A and B are shown apart, each in its own frame.
Chain A
Amino acid sequence: MIFSVKFPSADYFADLMKAVTAVVEEGTFVVDQEGMKLTAMDPAHISLVNFELTKAAAEEYSCEKQVELTININELHKLIRKAKKNEIITLEYDDEKKRLSVTLTNPAASTERRFTLNTLETVTGKTPVPNLSFEAKARVSAEAFRVAIEDAATVSDYAKLTIAPDAVIISSKGEMGSHSTKLAPGGTAVFEIEAQHEVSASFSLNYLEKIIKAGKTVAEESVIELSSNRPVKLSFPVPSGKLEYLIAPRIE
């Protein structure tokens, strides 16, 4: 056994995997002594996911050596999406059989469900990550952000994100009409804004919607980092881990 990892909450792990599938269906996890990581771009290279779960998130963690594990994350999610709240998930990888085994244990009911998943051949190399700096940052309620994005999608297929010193604005314009949501600090929608001046960029709602929906299931908060006409970084704070996305801006 190359590695064996036990996470206390199977349903939460399932939500994290679902969050990764907002960008890629298949992906390569790098598992080492410190934790598991995955960085991947979607086939069109419009969005990128950067996921990490350190060993601190695990109840038990052992890893003999660094291993790359390419799996169909959609399939993995299918196996574990029915996990109950009180179930524990154990992931084990057998290097010889090239198989990931997934065990869902319910200590209260004394049940154990076991699945295996064949791994895939790793074809792509390391995903390069753009080195970006941002001019503005806002911490917002993931739910408020999701509602705004959904509203934007009713009129258009792209939306403009603006961070001003006093508000976060999500707006969209379509052939039939327009939409704008203003989230201001002082309420439950915006926790913090760091912006010297107003910055904005436009993004495909297709990607925004998928990502905010996924992120919202694992975190209450979403951190938006933005520069004018540059990629946006959306992060969702995950205990002992990382869930970040980049989306390329729309060319105006």
Chain B
Amino acid sequence: MKDFVEKLQEALRNRHFILIAGNCRVYYEGRAASHLGYGERVVLIKQDGSILVHRPYGHEPVNWNPPGSRIEARRDEEDRIILTSLKSGEKLVVVFNDVKHFAVLNMLDDAEFEMYASEADMKQAVLLEPRLIEDGFTPVEDERKAFGSGRIDILGRDKNGNLVIVELKRNEASVEDVQQVLGYLSSLTRELGRRPRAIIVAPSISRRAAMLANSNNIEFKCLTPRLCMDVLKRRKGLDRFLE
């Protein structure tokens, strides 16, 4: 255990990711107080100074302290390892009398957690950057009512002045989606006396839907929710003001 505690102390100093599996008991004082008797558990100490104690079951840690905790390790007279974590009035103490597994990792993870865009996000991205549809596209109205067949995601104009119906889908466009656009088309043609262009915008289109779209002169434009998310992110922050 002597060797082990030295390695552990070094890993804590270096702010590395630490995993300890072994037999331990846990005391906690803070928002409440608790004691958990000896049992086999996994303790994770993350690089931001958060600490979690996991039992062999359940998805949540049985005890934890948030990032920025001051974590120290020492060895007592009975050769047990005592981990103490302090964070603004919260104290977590883990006492190991046996360690089965110990790993120290310097992990790099810069990726951002991304939620892929909803159709509403895709619409906002297109409204902010109409070029996503095609060069020269200008949105005119969003959620435009098409009498008797619902609302059109975006109604716009192309560079030649033609009206364009844009229908956005976050998943593969289906036959039903093409039929929906056909509904908008007939409604708008009736209302305006001429047939607008129509574009289905989705990450992909099924073969049957493509055939139906093709035979009805409905265009398909590939646009992924992910790209829309990138656009939104870029357009929300200061980056869009960088020359």
Does the CB pair B243–A248 fall under 8 Å?
no
Does the CB pair A248–B128 fall under 8 Å?
no
Within 204-243 of B, Cβ neighbours of A (below 8 Å) are at: 233, 235-243
Set of chain A residues within 8 Å of B239, measured between Cβ atoms? 45
Among residues of A, the one whose C-beta sits closest to the C-beta of B14 is A118
A176 on the interface (CB 8 Å rule)? no
Does the CB pair B238–A251 fall under 8 Å?
no
Among residues of B, the one whose C-beta sits closest to the C-beta of A204 is B236
Set of chain B residues within 8 Å of A47, measured between Cβ atoms? 238
Min CB distance A222 to B, Å, is: 19
Does the CB pair B241–A231 fall under 8 Å?
yes
- Please report the total number of B residues contacting A with Cβ < 8 Å: 13
Q: 0/1 per residue, A207-241, Cβ < 8 Å to B?
A: 00000000000000000000000110000000000
- Give the number of residue pairs across the A-B interface with Cβ within 8 Å: 36
Does the CB pair B238–A41 fall under 8 Å?
yes
Within 119-144 of B, Cβ neighbours of A (below 8 Å) are at: 124, 128
Our pick among B124, B128, B237, B243 for the contact of A45 (Cβ within 8 Å) is B237
Min CB distance B177 to A, Å, is: 27
Cα A24 to Cα B62 in complex, Å, equals 31
Cα A41 to Cα B128 in complex, Å, equals 23
Set of chain B residues within 8 Å of A230, measured between Cβ atoms? 241
Does the CB pair B243–A46 fall under 8 Å?
no
Does the CB pair A48–B238 fall under 8 Å?
yes
A44 on the interface (CB 8 Å rule)? yes
Cα A131 to Cα B242 in complex, Å, equals 7
Cα A132 to Cα B240 in complex, Å, equals 11
A199 on the interface (CB 8 Å rule)? no
Among residues of A, the one whose C-beta sits closest to the C-beta of B108 is A123
Does the CB pair B235–A130 fall under 8 Å?
no
Does the CB pair A44–B237 fall under 8 Å?
yes
Cα A74 to Cα B235 in complex, Å, equals 29
Does the CB pair A251–B242 fall under 8 Å?
no
Our pick among B68, B128, B238, B243 for the contact of A231 (Cβ within 8 Å) is B238
Cα A251 to Cα B241 in complex, Å, equals 13
Set of chain B residues within 8 Å of A246, measured between Cβ atoms? 238
Among residues of A, the one whose C-beta sits closest to the C-beta of B239 is A45
Among residues of B, the one whose C-beta sits closest to the C-beta of A247 is B238
Does the CB pair B128–A128 fall under 8 Å?
no
Cα A74 to Cα B124 in complex, Å, equals 36
Does the CB pair B236–A251 fall under 8 Å?
yes
Min CB distance B106 to A, Å, is: 11
Does the CB pair B236–A248 fall under 8 Å?
yes
Our pick among A41, A44, A131, A251 for the contact of B243 (Cβ within 8 Å) is A131
Set of chain B residues within 8 Å of A48, measured between Cβ atoms? 238
Does the CB pair B241–A46 fall under 8 Å?
no
Cα A45 to Cα B241 in complex, Å, equals 11
Within 24-71 of A, Cβ neighbours of B (below 8 Å) are at: 41, 44-48
Min CB distance B133 to A, Å, is: 19
7 tightest A-B contacts by CB? Answer: A45-B237, A130-B241, A248-B238, A248-B237, A130-B242, A128-B242, A46-B237
* Besides the known contacts A44-B237, A45-B238, A46-B237, 13 further A-B residue pairs in the complex with CB atoms under 8 A apart: A41-B237, A45-B233, A45-B237, A46-B236, A46-B238, A128-B242, A129-B242, A130-B241, A132-B241, A230-B241, A248-B238, A251-B128, A251-B236
